Amino acid sequence: MHSFLCSHPAVSRKETLMDTSDRDDVRVAGLSLRLNYDGRGDLSGGDHHPRPSAGFKLERSSSTATSVEPYLTLGLPGDGWGSAKAQAEEDKACSASRVVGRPSSPHSMVSSFSGGHLSRIKRERDARVSDEEEDGGAARKKLRLTKEQSALLEDRFREHSSLDPKQKQALAGQLSLRPRQVEVWFQNRRARTKLKKTEVEYERLRKCCETLRDENRRLQKELQELKSFKLLRPRYMQLPATAVAGFTMCPSCSTVAAASDSDESGSLVVAPKPRLFNPFAHSASL
């Protein structure tokens, strides 16, 4: 599903016009919008490569006189779709600006624009304009950092996982990169580190779980054995529990627990202390 936003003066406010999940025609604010959707499901790109994938044909509603141009073009192949520069000019000229939202994350479905949102978009667009100016306006190719660049970045990351603006500038100069690139690299690097950490932690917990399951099975088996033993030797079991080394009897509920043995959570442990393996207490060894 995609949300299309329109900021044309004819539309009283910036608003979500529609989603395209199941329709290609919509009538909004007296205007008839015909959506030419090519099925790629992508209207704007994170990267600044031309990505024309949809077009609007905005028609006058027969009953409504508006000053709207007959066509609202969201982008055509080769017209600089997604180009910040083109966007800037487009904004200047007009009018029927296209503001499209692509759901890049589950919570990012565009529904409205706050002031902060707009200023951010402007900032980012300006940043892209300056980037493209530096690149001579060429569509940006996938950058592959050299080994030397990566090594230096890694070194700096080991020292500090984040940079202050001065450090960023200096490092960017040193690497012949834009500060923005250094910033992005550090963001991605932090994300990778966190992901790795999460994976390690997941693996550790998985092993803990496995160990606990085994321990549980073993204890169940032991309990069964004790029960059958009780049936065979009832007199033995009539002894006071305190007489059994390492056990105390809870006076209120008669739960058998290890003497003064409770884990961090305060719960009772139904086994003599020396025999119970607590994987969490041994997590470092996993």
Selected binder of DNA within 64, 188, 224, 242 (CB under 7 A): 188
* 144 contributes a contact to DNA by CB under 7 A: yes
* 45 contributes a contact to DNA by CB under 7 A: yes
Stretch that binds DNA, among 25-33, 66-74, 122-130, 250-258 (CB under 7 A): 122-130
Task: Give the helix ranges, DSSP H, for the chain.
Answer: 84-93, 115-134, 147-159, 165-175, 179-232, 234-237
Query: How many whole angstroms separate alpha carbon 71 and alpha carbon 98?
Result: 12
Q: How many residues does the chain have?
A: 286
β pairing state of 256-258 and 247-249: antiparallel
Token couple for 108: 């990012």
* 158 contributes a contact to DNA by CB under 7 A: no
* 107 contributes a contact to DNA by CB under 7 A: yes
Token couple for 212: 């606990």
Token couple for 64: 């409504």
Selected binder of DNA within 64, 169, 187, 220 (CB under 7 A): 187
Give the shortest CB-46-to-DNA separation in angstroms.
Answer: 4
Selected binder of DNA within 23, 49, 221, 227 (CB under 7 A): 49
Query: How many whole angstroms separate alpha carbon 59 and alpha carbon 55?
Result: 13
* 282 contributes a contact to DNA by CB under 7 A: no
Selected binder of DNA within 69, 183, 215, 261 (CB under 7 A): 183
* 192 contributes a contact to DNA by CB under 7 A: yes
* 59 contributes a contact to DNA by CB under 7 A: no
Q: For residue 70, give the amino acid letter.
A: P
Query: How many whole angstroms separate alpha carbon 62 and alpha carbon 98?
Result: 23
Q: Are 211 and 205 in contact (CB under 8 A)?
A: no
Give the shortest CB-230-to-DNA separation in angstroms.
Answer: 52
Q: Which of residues 87-106 bind DNA (CB under 7 A)?
A: 101-102, 104-106
Give the shortest CB-30-to-DNA separation in angstroms.
Answer: 27
Helix axes 165-175, 179-232, angle to 10 degrees: 110
Count, residues near DNA per rule CB under 7 A:
50
Q: Are 54 and 35 in contact (CB under 8 A)?
A: yes
Query: How many whole angstroms separate alpha carbon 5 and alpha carbon 14?
Result: 7
Q: Smaller CB distance to DNA: residue 143 or 241?
A: 143
Selected binder of DNA within 36, 64, 130, 150 (CB under 7 A): 150
Q: Are 94 and 65 in contact (CB under 8 A)?
A: no
Q: Smaller CB distance to DNA: residue 156 or 257?
A: 156
Q: Smaller CB distance to DNA: residue 143 or 209?
A: 143
∠ CA 35-38-44, rounded to 5°: 80
The residues binding DNA (CB under 7 A) are 42, 44-49, 51, 101-102, 104-110, 114-117, 119-121, 123-124, 128, 131, 140-145, 150, 162-163, 165, 180-181, 183-185, 187-192, 194
